[in-house]
């Protein structure tokens, strides 16, 4: 990649220090002879990403998810600056980005290609997600979902819902629901039930070439479908809902050269590795 000429900044103004940081980054961009555009709305309109060389998201992982649809459509690399706690995806601190931004403007970027899910409903879609597609009950009542993998019946879940996640999304809702942590480079997707009625129902890891079809055995009014936490297909979704890893679309996430997935896991999940043993007193 050559010198960057057009950079889009997407800023979450509710984060303390976000606007000041973007002003500094915009100034550096313009001093380098490049164009700087600042947007404060997300999810981001798709056309806003057209012709950009880089998108810099200032906020956190939630803000970054708001640019997935547009960025993956136009294949624009995304760099996330986290203004809160350590993020899984927004992996640059304000200090890091100020130290390295001039170098990035020369086109020296390291990014990972992350899988993107594609979700369709009869007559609707596709909608894309970086983390997950979640189909769940609107109330506390259990729902019944019949899941097919290709043409084969995989399982019928009597549960609060199911999560279909990418490796990137394995550390999001999937993890909270008891699903496995998957390395971002693994070519798989995970189907995880949410509070299943049958305790033997567990997460299933599938090859990313498979197509999942979810049939609802019940009333559509009781169910919602969400992509990366954002409700899609309206209040009356149509079934079956089909989910797959998009065979061509990816999300280009810029990461520091020193980035370590395991370091982030240890720090984000507070793994200490130190077991404390006590001696019982008789």
Tally of residues, the chain:
282
Q: Quick count: other Cβ atoms within 10 Å of Cβ 213? A: 19
Comparing 6-110+255-268 with 116-248, is the CATH topology the same? no
Q: Which CATH number is associated with domain 6-110+255-268?
A: 3.40.50.10330
Q: Please identify every residue annotated as catalytic.
A: 61
- Report the pLDDT value the prediction gives residue 264, as an integer from 0 to 100: 86
What is the Cα–Cα distance from 238 to 224, expressed in whole angstroms? 10
Residue 90 has pLDDT above 60, yes or no: yes
What is the Cα–Cα distance from 240 to 135, expressed in whole angstroms? 11
DSSP 218: S
Residue 256 has pLDDT above 50, yes or no: yes
What is the Cα–Cα distance from 247 to 236, expressed in whole angstroms? 28
- The pLDDT tens digits of the residues spanning 157-214 come to 999 999 999 999 999 999 999 999 999 999 999 999 999 999 889 999 999 999 999 9
What is the Cα–Cα distance from 250 to 233, expressed in whole angstroms? 22
pTM of the model: 0.92
Q: What percent of the chain has pLDDT over 90?
A: 81
Each domain of the chain, given as residue ranges in start order, spans: 6-110+255-268, 116-248
**pLDDT band, residue 282 (cuts 50/70/90):** very low
Q: Which of 24, 22, 16 is nearest to 38 (CA)?
A: 22
Q: Which of 116, 146, 143, 137 is nearest to 245 (CA)?
A: 116
Looking at domain 116-248, its CATH architecture is Sandwich (2.60)
């Amino acid at each position: 990649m050559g010198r960057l000429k057009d950079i889009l900044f997407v800023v979450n103004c509710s984060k303390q220090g976000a606007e000041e940081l973007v002003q500094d980054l915009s100034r550096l961009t313009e001093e380098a002879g490049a164009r700087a555009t600042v947007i404060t709305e997300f999810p981001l309109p798709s056309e806003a990403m057209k012709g950009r060389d880089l998108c810099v998201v200032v906020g956190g992982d939630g803000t970054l998810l708001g640019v997935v649809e547009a960025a993956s459509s136009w294949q624009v690399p995304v760099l996330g600056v986290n203004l809160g706690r350590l993020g899984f995806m927004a992996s640059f601190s304000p200090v890091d980005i100020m130290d390295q931004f001039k170098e990035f403007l020369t086109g020296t970027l390291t990014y990972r290609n992350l899988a993107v899910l594609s979700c369709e409903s009869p007559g609707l879609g596709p909608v894309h997600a970086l983390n997950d597609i979640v189909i769940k009950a609107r109330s506390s009542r259990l729902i019944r979902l019949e899941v097919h993998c290709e043409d084969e019946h995989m399982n019928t879940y009597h549960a609060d819902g199911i999560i279909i996640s990418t490796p990137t999304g394995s550390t999001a809702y999937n993890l909270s629901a008891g699903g496995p942590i998957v390395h971002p480079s693994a070519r798989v997707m995970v189907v995880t039930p949410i509070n299943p009625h049958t305790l033997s129902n567990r997460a299933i890891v599938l090859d990313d070439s498979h197509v999942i079809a979810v049939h609802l055995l019940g009333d559509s009014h009781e169910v919602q479908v969400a992509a990366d936490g954002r409700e899609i297909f309206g209040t009356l979704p149509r079934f079956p809902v089909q989910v797959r890893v998009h065979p061509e679309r990816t999300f280009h996430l810029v990461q520091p050269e020193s980035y370590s997935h395991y370091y982030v896991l240890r720090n984000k999940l507070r793994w200490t590795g130190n077991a404390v043993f006590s001696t019982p007193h008789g």
